[in-house]
Structure 1
């Protein structure tokens, strides 16, 4: 197929179900592929890495106003100023201090699963609730307020997709308004009574505008659990499809670090991002005109055979396994260390406490491409 046909198929329901063969076809067209005049796609590891690291290429404005002032959509120097204020909560030391609390939350969720008995839905009962609980504790969102987040966040997450219907856009806008109103109330309460949480820290810093504060709180909530939910769900499904790997990690939980890195490479929770050329420049030997739109295919970069030997094989102990799943450059994922920690705690606990883990029904993929994950993943155990 021609590049435009491949991209069109990639954005279809069929393409979203399994994008990897389409990525392989796109790579055959080159490392930086012209889809249409002014529209390029980076397919290789080096092209994606170069695109994301080069400050000539800017993050694009968000589709929805609430995120337009967030670090997802802004560029240096504004991005640098705001990210500096937020990054203190995600240092290696601060994240490591959360390990005991994360393990406690994970065990409590598995307690509920075992008490109810098989079958369970890994997504609803664990992969969604664990990272949501962690990010809410970090932010300072009261536990009583969390139950309504998932359907609202699911509607809002369409803001991160490249394409959506008018109905989806309307639902996302309604969700954005709910989040904005909710966080406005929380911020107002923290201005009156400071607590030991990230919202209080950001309010006290007094260096963020109201729109920056609300936009980044919404982003932290959304990115703080959506991507980790997908990492856990995709990783468990990868193991269930490979019984020998499931048995190996179950018997050697000390290998969890390399398994998590391979989960991230093999089926990343975020498949793509985009940039716009601020000025005329060169990438991969090609002249790029100012205003050109570029799509960075993270999922394709992680399957680049010039970077990874046998990239379509799941091989946890592959040498030099450094994927680009958390991005690169100024917009490298702020919560990468936290996501890794949650996954490193979650997988050994799940496999130890739910032995002989197996599918209990047909998994359901979400009809999404940018945020790739499962809507439901029925499991059983012995």
Structure 2
């Protein structure tokens, strides 16, 4: 099977359900392989890391997307995401990211630890009450969604009464990030984009009139004072991105972790005893079953290569993060789940200019939540069949029923 066939299989139903056998085949082709005219597939850890860190490899921007995808501009979901830092190159990317980074700081995130701890225990109390009679509890809805959405909404300044709306809207919107999306999914994504844009238009107007100590107020003030640095369209796009990215990947991280600990009870026992550290567990979950499986880059300059394979100007690169995290040249027994690994360095949050702004927050939430969950419920167990989301790029569970009592 060549690179093109592997990509074709990955976007199919079997590949979306379990991409890992295809990644093993891809590694057999080498760390980098062609997968179509002017397109490469990077699966080696070093090769993927090289591409992510090199600013000469950019993201496909709106101009390129319009050339490759006729009708791109007709879809509000794609247009909205293309106005955010997710899909912009220099100088626009640096201009916007520096503003967001100035308010979404490491110090602000670190200061959230007491609030995250309190939120974790409130949600565990709720789970205990829901499952007190032995009834199954859907971990994804009761905890994995509610914890990160509550934290990021608190940061942004989204009222608590509105937060329940966002799981469905985010799921619908992020279909636009998949490699292959049918017309029905795109129509649903477009509706979600319009609803989220309308919501943040109203919230931004409210914060403009009555500023508070939150990220929306801070970004609104920057945009008002220096509109040349952040346009109104860019403000809305990045607010939506901060919301969605602030909980989608963390929700998947928490669900993937619990499912893996069910499959590996010795690791759960190690977490309870202290033999497995919360940090080690989090990094191994990120490596073994990454919440983000792939991203794309494009060569913005001449003379580039990917792992020694020439990448002329305009070459597209599929960066398979999930495959890089299981590279046998980087990891001993890469398919084995081992939360005691050292020097894991998963690429799940990307790297370089587009390294995920929320990586520190996601890790903080997982490191607090997972040990607390398994300490509170020593007999936590599956309570039925878990259902995966039918996605490749964003990998996680739709439902994960558990028995907490």
Task: Classify the TM-score, shorter chain.
Answer: over 0.9
Q: Deviations over 1:179-231 (max 9, x none)?
A: 11110111111111100100001111123100110000010111100000000
Q: Deviations over 1:151-174 (max 9, x none)?
A: 111110112211100000010011
Q: Which residue in the other structure is 2:184 paired with?
A: 167
Deviations 1:109-137, CA, capped at 9 Å, x for gaps? 11111111131011011001110001100
> 1:215: which partner in 2?
237
- Structure 1 distance, partners of 2:103, 2:179, is 29
Task: Answer whether contact 1:90 1:337 (CA < 8 A) is retained.
Answer: no
CA distance in 1, matches of 2:4, 2:253: 29
User: Do residues 267 (structure 1) and 284 (structure 2) align?
Assistant: no
Report which stretch shifted further, 72-81 or 253-262: 253-262
1:89–1:95: 8 Å Cα contact kept in structure 2? no
| Inter-partner Cα distance in structure 1 for 2:183 and 2:154 | 34
SS at match of 1:148: helix
Match for residue 87 of structure 1 among 89, 101, 111: 101
Per-residue CA deviation, residues 291-330 of structure 1 (Å, 9 max, x unaligned), is 2211000000000111111111111121211111110110
Greater CA drift, 361-370 or 13-22: 13-22
Counterpart contact for 2:382–2:401, Cα < 8 Å: yes
Task: Provide structure 1 residue ranges, at least 5 long, that are not aligned to the other structure.
Answer: none
State which drifts further: 132-141 or 57-66: 57-66
2:91 maps to what in 1?
Answer: 77
Report the equivalent of 1:205: 222
Give the equivalent residue in structure 2 for 1:12.
Answer: 12
Whether the aligned pair in 2 keeps the contact of 1:43 and 1:301 (CA below 8 Å) is yes
1:228 alignment partner in structure 2: 250
**Unaligned 5+ runs, structure 2:** 63-71, 73-77, 224-228
1:350 CA displacement: 0.6
Which of 363, 367, 379 is equivalent to 2:386? 363
Q: Deviations over 1:53-112 (max 9, x none)?
A: 112211113661111121101112221121111113443321111011111111111111
Of 112, 123, 129, the match for 2:146 = 129
Contact 1:58 1:277 survives alignment (8 Å): yes
Match of 1:307 in 2: 330
Contact 1:183 1:214 in 2 (8 A): yes
Contact 1:90/1:338 (<8 A) preserved: no
Moved over 4 A (4+): none
- Alpha-carbon contact 1:50-1:283 (below 8 Å) kept: yes
Residue 66 (structure 2) aligns with: none
Change (3 A) 1:212 1:245: same
Q: TM-score, normalised by structure 2?
A: 0.92
Pair 161,330 (structure 1): closer, same or farther in 2 beyond 3 Å: same
Residues 254 and 47 of structure 1: is their aligned pair in 2 closer, same or farther, counting only changes over 3 Å?
closer
What is the CA distance between 1:254 and its match in structure 2? 7.0
Secondary structure of the structure 2 residue equivalent to 1:379: strand
> Which residue of the other structure, out of 92, 113, 119, is the alignment partner of 1:105?
119
Q: Deviations over 1:31-73 (max 9, x none)?
A: 1110111111001001101111112211113661111121101
- In structure 1, what is the Cα distance between the partners aligned to 2:146 and 2:5? 38
- Which whole-Å CA distance do the structure 2 matches of 1:27 and 1:55 have between them? 25
Question: More deviation in 152-161 or 217-226?
Answer: 152-161
TM-score where L is the length of structure 1: 0.97
Q: Does 1:292 align with 2:315?
A: yes
